[in-house]
Amino acid sequence: MLGTRHQNQSRNADGDSDVDEFSAPLLIDNDPDSRIQHGSIRVCTSRFWFNYRHIANTLAIYRTVKRLGIPDSNIILMLADDMACNPRNKHPGAVFSHPNHEVDIYGDNVEVDYRGYEVTVENFIRLITGRVMPDTPRSKRLLTDDKSNILFYLTGHGGEDFLKFQDAEEINSYDIADAFSQMWEKKRYNEIMFMIDTCQANSMFSKFKSPNILSIGSSRVGESSYSYFHDADLGLTVIDRFTYVNLKYFEDIDMQSRSSFSDLYSTYDTKIIKSNPGYDTRHFKRRFDQTLLTDFLGAVAKAEITEKSYPLQRNITRDTSKTGSNTAKVRCGTASVGNAIMYILYHICLLALILLYLCATCFFFNNGV
C-alpha cells in the first residue's frame, strides 16, 4: 500500500473500528507547459501507385511522433491510397521510405483514420473545425481544446496557394486560413505547427492570420518539391527530399530533447533539398530559436512527488454488523428467488416436450404411419 497508515481509527456507533485511514503522497505538476495536450494530423492527399513517396512521407512522420510519445488516440492519419496492399507492391503489407528496406513504416500497429475516398477537402475541413457528422466515431474526431498543441503535416501535389486532394479537387490557402480562424474562435488549439511538403509549399501559409501558428514549408513560390531515393524493386522513388531531411534530424532526438526549430532549420541543405524551405512566425508569440521540437512532435508526462497527503478510507464489512447481515440476506433472498424461477421454467419446458411427443405419436398412429 502506498502511503503511511495513521494510528487513529474512526469508531462506529457500537465502538467498533470500521474505517482505516491512510495518507498517500500527491503527484503534482508545477510545470504549466506539461498541461498542454498534444495532437497530430497527418494528411497524404495523393493516390495512385506513382505517388508512393507521399504515402511514405506521411507514414514516416507518423512513426516519428508515435516514437516521441504521442499516442494513436491523439493522432489523425489520413491516407488517400493504400500502398501496402497495392497489387504492384513487391512487398505486400509493407511500405518503405528507404531502398534498403530495413524499416517497414507501415508495420503492424498503424491506425489509419481516414482512408481512400474518405480523404476529401470537406472531411478535412470538418475534422479540424469540429463540424463532423453526429455519427462520426471518436477515432475520426479531433478532440482538442485551448490547451492543445497541434502538429499539421500535409504532403501531396500542389502549386501556388493550392494543394490537390485525390487529383480531383483542391484546397487553397484561404480555405486553411479560414479553418484555422474557426479553430481559434472555438478554442480548439493553443498553438499550431503547420508543416507542408509540396511544390510552392510556402504559399499555403501566406494567408494565415490566426494567432499562435508556426509554419514551415519545403519550397518557395515558383519552386518544385523534389523526390529522393529511387527504389529499383518498386520502380519509383520512396520519399521526398524535404521530408527526408526532417526525418534524418528527428531520428536523433528523444522525448527529452532540447532541440529547437531553429536547430532543425539550420540543417536544411539546399543542395540536398534542391529548393528553398521557408518558415513563418508572424503570428507566433514565441521565438523560433526558443521553440522546442518536442512542443509539437512529442508528449512527455511530467510529475513531481510531494509530501502533501490526503486520507484514503477503506470500509471493513463485518459479518456481525447489521449492514453486512442485511446485505447477505438480500443476496441470499435474490439467489433463492432466482433458483425457484429457473426450477419452474425447467419443468414447464419438460412438460411441453412430453406433450409435444404425445401429440406427435397420436398423429402418426391415427394416420397409419
Amino acid at 328: A
Residues labelled as active-site residues: 157, 199
Q: How many C-beta neighbours within 10 Å does residue 284 have?
A: 20
What CATH number has the domain spanning 32-302? 3.40.50.1460
Residue 246 has pLDDT above 90, yes or no: yes
Residue 262 has pLDDT above 70, yes or no: yes
CB 30 within 8 A of CB 306: no
**Residue entry with cell 518544385:** 224
In this prediction, residue 23 carries a pLDDT of 38
pTM, to two decimals = 0.74
Cell numbers representing residue 20 in the block: 482505516
% of the chain at pLDDT higher than 90? 68
Nearest alpha carbon to residue 61 among 82, 46, 40:
40
Confidence of residue 107 (pLDDT cuts 50, 70, 90): confident
In this prediction, residue 310 carries a pLDDT of 55
CA 31 to chain CA centroid, nearest Å? 24
What tens digit of pLDDT does each residue of 158-191 get?
999 999 999 999 999 999 999 999 999 999 999 9
Tell me how far apart the alpha carbons of residues 100 and 233 are, in angstroms, rounded to a whole number. Answer: 10
CB 39 within 8 A of CB 128: no
Tell me how far apart the alpha carbons of residues 27 and 303 are, in angstroms, rounded to a whole number. Answer: 6
Tell me how far apart the alpha carbons of residues 255 and 257 are, in angstroms, rounded to a whole number. Answer: 6
- DSSP-derived secondary structure for 302-329: --EEEEEEEEEEEE---TTSHHHHHHHH
Tell me how far apart the alpha carbons of residues 196 and 215 are, in angstroms, rounded to a whole number. Answer: 8
In this prediction, residue 305 carries a pLDDT of 62
In this prediction, residue 109 carries a pLDDT of 87
Cell numbers representing residue 266 in the block: 539550420
Average pLDDT of the segment spanning 111-127: 96
In this prediction, residue 369 carries a pLDDT of 56
The 8 Å CB, 24+ separation contacts for 136-142 are: 139/73, 139/111, 139/113, 140/76, 140/113, 140/114, 142/39, 142/41, 142/76, 142/188
What tens digit of pLDDT does each residue of 123-161 get?
999 999 999 999 999 999 999 999 999 999 999 999 999
